[in-house]
Amino acid sequence: MTSHDIALGIFSSTPKGLHVVPNKVYQSMAAECAVITSDTSPQRRTLGNDVVYVAPNNPRALADAIASLISSYNILVRKQSDAARSAQRFTSDIITRELSQWIKEH
């Protein structure tokens, strides 16, 4: 995956697709790929502006987003950097910190 420039998240408009941030998004960010994924509340809340969003179930918007990234090297590199920086918020130490503290207290 690290040899890729762009990775795709989830684009489904099903109830599940509208309520998740799939693991492949976190993996893609850690691999320093620019990520394109659907514009849903959970993803926007979790990922902020560090990925490229498109409307769920909209192939034209997805194609346009891909074209935009491959046509502008500067934007592509910026989104790769944004994703890599964001991935640092999701290390195993960080995401298990609260649970680990709770276990220690109980």
> What pLDDT is attached to residue 2?
65
> What pLDDT is attached to residue 76?
98
Residues of the chain with pLDDT under 50: none
> What pLDDT is attached to residue 54?
98
pTM for this predicted structure: 0.88
Q: Three-class SS string for 25-91?
A: HHHHHHCCCEEEEECCHHHHHHHCCCCEEECCCCHHHHHHHHHHHHHCHHHHHHHHHHHHHHHHHHC
